[in-house]
């Protein structure tokens, strides 16, 4: 799977949008971008994934650049409960290689 | 629809004892994955199982660790003769159809070896 790079940490004010960047410059055509988060040692929580097009669900939006070398996870109205480590993972969606490779992630701190 | 269940949530063992960690996947899921998170480190893949089959065990330590996912019942991660370095959080995830579907994680088992 392609390697991803994320800033170590960032913060945002409660109620504002949180934009979390991720670089994946070596991504292949059959690799998806996945986002998970881990809130204080709980089990990782799936957020969203996408291939080429932008995606939105009840939790977040995922914006993928046209060249697919980077993406941004957007939490539209961050709350204190969104404070967590967010992992950007690039993963092949076909074939037998099913494991998720977690990096260090980005620590998001939402301040009151 | 219940999520992935793991038990026990906390497990304390003395050096040399055996640890058994159980994982019940989400209903309808037939693929199970185990990950380990050592203190202050990221999550590392250990093993991927389908019912009665080990598909990928490339992340499993060569000795003392084993995993199974029987036809009936939960998946079991077994650690024999535990050492202090085995102290970690062990997370199980499951996915529905194929190994490439989205994985959903359980709350984890925190193993402490005294």
pLDDT in tens, A30-48: 889 999 999 988 999 999 9
Residue B10 near residue B113 (C-beta atoms within 8 A): no
Mean pLDDT of B12-37: 95
Which pairs count as long-range contacts for B57-61, CB under 8 Å and 24+ apart, including other chains? B58/A99, B59/A99
Search chain A and give the residue with CA nearest B95: A98
Helix, strand, coil share (%) of chain B residues, nearest 5: 5, 50, 50
pLDDT (tens digit per residue) in B35-66: 999 988 889 999 999 988 998 999 999 999 99
Q: Which two tokens stand for residue B44?
A: 């590392």
Decide the pairing of beta strands B10-13 and B109-113: parallel
At residue A98, the pLDDT reads 75
Looking at residue A96, the DSSP 8-state letter turns out to be S
* The pLDDT value given to residue B2: 74
What pLDDT score was predicted for residue A97? Answer: 63
pLDDT for residue B104 is more than 80: yes
CA distance A71 to chain B (A): 19
* Mean of all residue pLDDT scores within chain B: 93
* Chain B residues with a Cβ under 8 Å from any Cβ in chain A: 4, 31, 33, 35, 42-45, 48, 55-56, 58-59, 89, 91, 93, 95, 98-100, 102-108
Rounded CA-CA distance B45/A71 in Å is 24
Q: Chain-wide mean pLDDT for chain A? A: 92
Angle among Cα B41, B82, B75 to the nearest 5 degrees reads 80
């Amino acid at each position: 799977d392609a390697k991803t790079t994320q800033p170590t940490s960032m913060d945002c004010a409660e109620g504002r949008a949180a934009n979390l960047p991720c670089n994946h410059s070596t991504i292949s055509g059959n690799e998806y971008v996945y986002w998970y988060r881990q809130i204080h040692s709980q089990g990782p929580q799936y957020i969203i994934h996408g291939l080429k097009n932008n995606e939105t669900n009840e939790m977040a939006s995922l914006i993928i650049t046209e060249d697919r070398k980077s993406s941004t996870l957007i939490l539209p109205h961050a709350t204190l409960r969104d404070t967590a480590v967010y992992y950007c993972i690039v993963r092949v969606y076909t074939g037998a290689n099913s494991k998720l490779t977690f990096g260090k992630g980005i620590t998001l701190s939402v301040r009151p | 629809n219940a999520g992935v269940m793991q038990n026990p949530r906390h497990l304390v063992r003395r050096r040399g004892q055996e640890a058994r960690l159980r994982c019940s996947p989400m209903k309808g899921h037939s693929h199970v994955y185990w990950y380990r998170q050592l203190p202050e480190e990221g999550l590392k893949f250990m093993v991927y199982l389908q019912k009665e089959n080990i598909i990928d065990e490339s992340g499993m330590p060569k000795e003392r660790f084993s995993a199974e996912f029987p036809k009936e019942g939960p998946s079991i991660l077994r650690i024999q003769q535990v050492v202090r370095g085995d102290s970690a959080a062990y997370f199980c995830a499951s996915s529905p159809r194929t190994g490439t579907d989205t994985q959903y994680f359980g709350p984890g088992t925190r193993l402490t070896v005294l």
